[in-house]
Every structure is written in structure tokens, then in C-alpha cells.
């Protein structure tokens, strides 16, 4: 068995951390940025969601484009475009110019998060691939944790320009390191017809299946971290602990997929999330920690499913496009829905979390079994 290219896996993962930092650098600097732009915080917060909205609208299109041009070229392009845009943002231009730059940055972000998993899957051998995909599943949470440590210090030392420029320079430096190392696959015909591209992505069930449970995870994760501490009467800082617990179990989710089918690991994650939520409703100790520990299995298993259920780089890339689109759908809708639930009290909030966890488990089981039947020629 060929060895995994651990160096390339690490470098691509670093690119994922920098891609996630495109969210963190704005969300962690809303106060200074609102002062610099002369706008209120809610208006400036739109700049955070803009990147996610691009993923929601164009996730499947990104999968088609990356499949046509190759994940290597698109990953490098995402780093270069993202780096240049971040350097332009460092001048802190007027709000509408900055919003335009964030829209372009959203395209660069999509290129990175759609191409990255395909590159990591190709760089890993059969034994290590589930673990590599589980590692990729941690990129967003890890990046936000690191950003919370690094970005405030950069702002304190050199203001917004230093923080934004550092993100841009890091992306360009990584692009230079990867320029000769990253593989370039032969190009395919580029089709920008949205109907045909969406048909190619969503017309093959194995490409869609990993996203079906993942959307329930993204719906819950950030929103639950935001609203559960207050609903349970816990200090806001406990969200950091829950996030770290989730990161550890995401890696475990990928590792478990070495021995179990991804849909079973994802189903286990949703079942544990539901059990932990029920425990919180009953006031049982450590129930929230149990909830987030099991929730973390889902992204690790979902990304492992991309490689397990799709054999070719093109299929994996399209599957990642579907995950990007569904994942952003969950992130964009989860916070407002759970905010409404939290307004009704802890019981209403926990009821919604429990219902979504049960739905996620059902979707994971149904999609996994259907993929298995289709692969064995058993049909629906």
C-alpha cells in the first residue's frame, strides 16, 4: 500500500484553516470594524454572513467548476484570490467596497473548501483516508479557536490593517509553497449552465448522501453553542469547552470510519446528540458535554463518506460542493430558528435540538442504506 503524503495533507489542512479564518477575522473584529466604517455592529455583521450566503447560493456550482478545472488549480486559485482580496481589505475601504471584496472572498472561500477535501482524499492511502477526512472536518472549529487567540493580539498590535494583511500574506505564502507540489489533474469541459451543473451534482445519490446528515449538524452546532449556555444558566465561556470537545470527537468520527460505515458513525453521533439533549431536559449532569461529544462525530463521518461513497476525484469534488451548499443552508437557517426557540425558553430550545437530531439520524440511516443498495445493484 502506498504511503500517504502527510506533508501535502498538512499543507492543505492549513489552507482550510486560512479559509475558515475568512469568517473569523470579521466576526472577531466587529467592534473595531464598525468604528472604522462608521456603521453599527448589526450592519457590519452582514459582512460575516456574506461569505456563507455565497456558499449557499453557489456551493453546487463550485463543485462543478472544481470538477472541471481540477481541485489543485482551484485550491491554488482560492489561495491567491483570497490573499489578494485580504490585502485590499487591509486598507479598510468604505463599506460597499468592502462588501464587494467580501463577495469575491466568498468565491475564494468556496474554491478552498470544495477543493480541499478532494486533495486530502487523493493524498491519503485507503487506510488513512477516513482519518484524513475526519481531520478536514475539524478545520472550521480549529480555525475559529486559533483566530480567537491570534486576531485580537494582531489588532492590539497594529489595528485592523495588520490583522487583515496577515491573513492575506499567509494565504499567498501557502500558495507559493504549494505551487509546485500540488497535483494538477487534466481539465474537463467547463459548464457554467446552473441547471446542468446542479443536475450533475444532485443527479447521483452518492454525491448528495454525505450532505443530508451534515445539514442537520451545521443547523445545530453554531446555534447551539450560542444559545444553550444562557438557556441552561451556564457561563458563556462554557461554549469554548463544548467546541473543544466537538473537535476531538470529529477526529474520532473519521477514525471510526476505518472500521464502520460512515452512515453508522453519523447515526451514532445523532443518537448521542439526542440522548444528551434529553438528559439536559431532565437536568442530568454532563448532558451538554455528552451532546457535543456525539455531535462532533457527524462532520468527521460526513467528510469520510465523501471518499467512501465516491471513487473518482470529480465525484468527490461534486459531493463536496453539495456538502458546502447544504452546510451553509444549515448555518444560515440554524441561528435564527434556534433564536426564536430560545425566546420561548429552555424547553422549546431543547425540543427543537432534539427534533433536528432525530431527523439527522433518520437521514443518515436512510441515505447510507440507499447508497449501499445502489452500490450493490439492489436499487431503491
Residue 314 has pLDDT above 70, yes or no: yes
pLDDT confidence of residue 380: 46
Q: What is the pLDDT of residue 172?
A: 97
Considering the domain architecture, whether residues 170 and 267 belong to the same structural domain is answered as no
Q: Are residues 142 and 54 in the same domain?
A: yes
pLDDT digits (tens, 9 = 90+) for 275-293: 999 999 999 999 999 999 9
Q: Which of 327, 54, 133, 336 is nearest to 216 (CA)?
A: 327
Per-residue pLDDT averaged across 236-248, rounded?
A: 86
Note whether residue 170 is domain-resident.
yes
Q: Which residue has the cell 487506510?
A: 127
Is 160 within the bounds of a domain? yes
In this prediction the pTM is: 0.85
Co-location of 163 and 216 in the same domain: no
Residue 76: φ, ψ to 5°: -60, -45
What integer best gives the mean pLDDT of the chain? 89
Per-residue pLDDT, 200: 84
Domain that holds residue 167: 1-183
Judgement on whether residues 222 and 118 belong to the same structural domain of the protein = no
pLDDT at 249: 93
SS (H, E, C) 299-313: HHHHHHHHHHHCCCH
- Distance (Å, whole) CA 309 – CA 210: 8
Answer yes or no: is 232 within a domain. Answer: yes
CATH of the domain at 56: 1.20.1250.20
Indicate the angle between helix axes 129-136 and 297-309, nearest 10 degrees. Answer: 130
Q: Tell me: do 126 and 263 sit in the same domain.
A: no
Does residue 197 lie in a domain region? no
Chosen domain end from 115, 149, 183? 183
Q: What pLDDT is attached to residue 104?
A: 93
Higher-pLDDT residue of 48 and 344 is 344
3-state secondary structure of 237: coil
Report pLDDT digits (tens) over 207-217: 999 999 999 99
Q: Does residue 217 form part of some domain?
A: yes
The Cα 341–Cα 5 span in angstroms is 46
Res 377: pLDDT: 65
Within the chain, where are the H helices? 6-27, 30-37, 41-69, 71-89, 95-123, 129-136, 139-178, 194-202, 205-232, 238-256, 262-282, 287-295, 297-309, 313-343, 346-375
Is the Cα torsion angle 78, 99, 23, 137 positive or negative in sign? negative
Contacts of 51 (CB under 8 A, 6+ apart): 22, 23, 102, 105, 106, 109
Are both 179 and 31 inside the same structural domain? yes
| Mean pLDDT across 335-341 | 87
Q: Over range 287-303, report the average pLDDT.
A: 94
Structural domain includes residue 195: no
Q: Please check the confidence at residue 124 and state whether its pLDDT lies above 70.
A: yes
Higher pLDDT residue, 189 or 365? 365
Domain boundary among 154, 183, 212: 183
Q: Are 335 and 226 in contact (CB under 8 A)?
A: yes
Whether the pLDDT of residue 105 is over 80: the answer is: yes
Output the pLDDT for position 175: 97
Q: First CA to last CA across the chain, in angstroms?
A: 34
Dist CA 170 CA 226 (whole Å) = 29
Task: Check whether residue 176 and residue 280 sit in a common domain.
Answer: no
The total of other beta-carbon atoms located within 10 Å of residue 150's CB is: 17
Domain count, the chain: 2
336 lies in the same domain as 373: yes
Q: Are residues 172 and 47 in the same domain?
A: yes
pLDDT band for position 1 (cuts 50, 70, 90) = low
Residue 199 lies in a domain: no
Q: What percent of the chain has pLDDT over 70?
A: 98
pLDDT over threshold 60, residue 378 = no
State the virtual CA torsion across 316, 317, 318, 319 in degrees, nearest 10.
50
In a domain, 194, yes or no: no
For the segment 192-204, the average pLDDT, to the nearest whole number, is 85
161: confidence class by pLDDT, cuts 50, 70, 90: very high
Both 314 and 221 in one domain: the answer is: yes
Of the residues 137, 154, 183, the one at which a domain ends: 183
- Tell whether 267 and 358 lie within a shared domain: yes
Q: Tell me: the pLDDT tens digits for 128-154?
A: 888 898 899 888 888 888 888 888 889
On whether both 178 and 122 belong to a single domain, the answer is yes
Amino acid at each position: 500500500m502506498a504511503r500517504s503524503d502527510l506533508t501535502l495533507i498538512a499543507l492543505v489542512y492549513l489552507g482550510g484553516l486560512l479559509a475558515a479564518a475568512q469568517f473569523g477575522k470579521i466576526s472577531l473584529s466587529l467592534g473595531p470594524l464598525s468604528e472604522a466604517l462608521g456603521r453599527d455592529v448589526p450592519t457590519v455583521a452582514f459582512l460575516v454572513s456574506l461569505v456563507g450566503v455565497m456558499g449557499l447560493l453557489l456551493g453546487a456550482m463550485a463543485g462543478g467548476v472544481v470538477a472541471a478545472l481540477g481541485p489543485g488549480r482551484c485550491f491554488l486559485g482560492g489561495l491567491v484570490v483570497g490573499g489578494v482580496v485580504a490585502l485590499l481589505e487591509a486598507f479598510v475601504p468604505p463599506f460597499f467596497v468592502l462588501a464587494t471584496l467580501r463577495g469575491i472572498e466568498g468565491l475564494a472561500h468556496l474554491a478552498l473548501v470544495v477543493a480541499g477535501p478532494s486533495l486530502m482524499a487523493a493524498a491519503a492511502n485507503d487506510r488513512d483516508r477516513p482519518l484524513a477526512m475526519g481531520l478536514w472536518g475539524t478545520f472550521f472549529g480549529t480555525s475559529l479557536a486559533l483566530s480567537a487567540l491570534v486576531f485580537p493580539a494582531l489588532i492590539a498590535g497594529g489595528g485592523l490593517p495588520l490583522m487583515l494583511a496577515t491573513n492575506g500574506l499567509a494565504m499567498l505564502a501557502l500558495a507559493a509553497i504549494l505551487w509546485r507540489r500540488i497535483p494538477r489533474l487534466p481539465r474537463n469541459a467547463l459548464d457554467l449552465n446552473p441547471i446542468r451543473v446542479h443536475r450533475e451534482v444532485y443527479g447521483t445519490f452518492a454525491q448528495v448522501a454525505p450532505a443530508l446528515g451534515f445539514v442537520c449538524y451545521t443547523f445545530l452546532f453554531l446555534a447551539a453553542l450560542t444559545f444553550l449556555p444562557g438557556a441552561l444558566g451556564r457561563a458563556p465561556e462554557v461554549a469554548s469547552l463544548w467546541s473543544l470537545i466537538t473537535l476531538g470527537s470529529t477526529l474520532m468520527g473519521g477514525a471510526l470510519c476505518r472500521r464502520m460505515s460512515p452512515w453508522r458513525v453519523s447515526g451514532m453521533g445523532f443518537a448521542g446528540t439526542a440522548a444528551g439533549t434529553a438528559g439536559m431536559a431532565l437536568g442530568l449532569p454532563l448532558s451538554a458535554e455528552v451532546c457535543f461529544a456525539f455531535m462532533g462525530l457527524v462532520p468527521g463521518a460526513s467528510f469520510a463518506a465523501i471518499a467512501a461513497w465516491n471513487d473518482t476525484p470529480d465525484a468527490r469534488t461534486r459531493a463536496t460542493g453539495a456538502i458546502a451548499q447544504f452546510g451553509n443552508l444549515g448555518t444560515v437557517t440554524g441561528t435564527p430558528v434556534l433564536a426564536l426557540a430560545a425566546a420561548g425558553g429552555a424547553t422549546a430550545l431543547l425540543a427543537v435540538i432534539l427534533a433536528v437530531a432525530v431527523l439527522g439520524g433518520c437521514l443518515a440511516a436512510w441515505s447510507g442504506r440507499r447508497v449501499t443498495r445502489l452500490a450493490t445493484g439492489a436499487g431503491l
